[in-house]
Amino acid sequence: MKKLKVGIIGCGTIGNEIAASCMGLLKDKVELKALYDIDRKKAEGLSRLIKRDITVDSMDMLFDKADLIVESASAGISRKVVEKAVEKSKDVMIMSIGGLIQSEGLLKEAGKKNIRVYFPSGAVCGIDGLKAARLSGIESVTLTTRKPPGGLEGAPYLKEKNINVHSIKGEKVLFRGNPLEAVKGFPKNINVASVLSLAGIGAKKTKVRIITSPGYTKNVHEIEITGDFGSIRTRTENVPSRKNPKTSALAILSAIATLKGIVESIKIGT
């Protein structure tokens, strides 16, 4: 059986875990062909970790070696990755979905060329129900995210508002708005809002709240959906990744599960 050739762009926490799954859990169906990171030392470090010298010097080189490109870098590069996929007719899996929240035209262009663009559900449950509900009519989608202060540190919104999250004593609502505003203010924290927007009623109509407290120990995402179908309420309590508190462990597992689903013949769920 021919293996799927995979290349990874972005060799941080998520990229490392996806690479490990390619070399372990998925090794019978996936061949990891190339690694690229703007910080070459990260790619080289991952190459040493998996004991394969597959670091490349550019995205173009990576695209030429792989059939499926996995982006696990940042929202600042995810659009460029999809543009390159359209140019080179390659399928992609995007982790930094926030970078594509206003890229409907680009995604349609990918669709016209039969390029598959995969967006993992990430750190939430309920995306399957949202996708189904969209076919009958959705009235509202609201995301409430609760994160420990350390998981939000360094966000542009906090700097702009001069908010020191470590000075907060109790539960505090930091942000209310839509995913467009949330992605701009919290680019490393709110991919969930982006995937909800794409699966549901769009970035302008979806509502987002971000709350923090020094008493929080988990990343918690609550989703409320109402429409002609009825209503859905989900609550996902995520343990932060031990290597990167800004990333939920479930988001990493979701990426691996998506890759697993791509190479398996049996498809479960919507």
Tokens of residue 264, six digits? 């398996």
Place of tokens 């070696």: 65
CA distance linking residue 24 with residue 51, whole number of Å: 13
The bridge status of strand 91-94 relative to strand 117-118 is: parallel
Residue 209's SS3 state is strand
CA distance linking residue 35 with residue 33, whole number of Å: 7
Indicate if 221 belongs to the active site.
yes
Helices (H), 89-133: 104-112, 127-133
Tokens of residue 17, six digits? 């875990």
Tokens of residue 72, six digits? 């696990």
The one catalytic residue among 30, 221, 222, 241: 221
Residue 265's SS3 state is coil
Instruction: Judge residue 36's burial from the number of C-beta atoms within 10 Å of its C-beta, 0-12 exposed, 13-18 middle, 19 or more buried.
Output: buried
Per the DSSP assignment, residues forming a β-bridge with 246 are: none
CA distance linking residue 221 with residue 185, whole number of Å: 17
Tokens of residue 99, six digits? 């970078």
In terms of residues, how long is the chain? 270
Residues marked active site are found at: 221
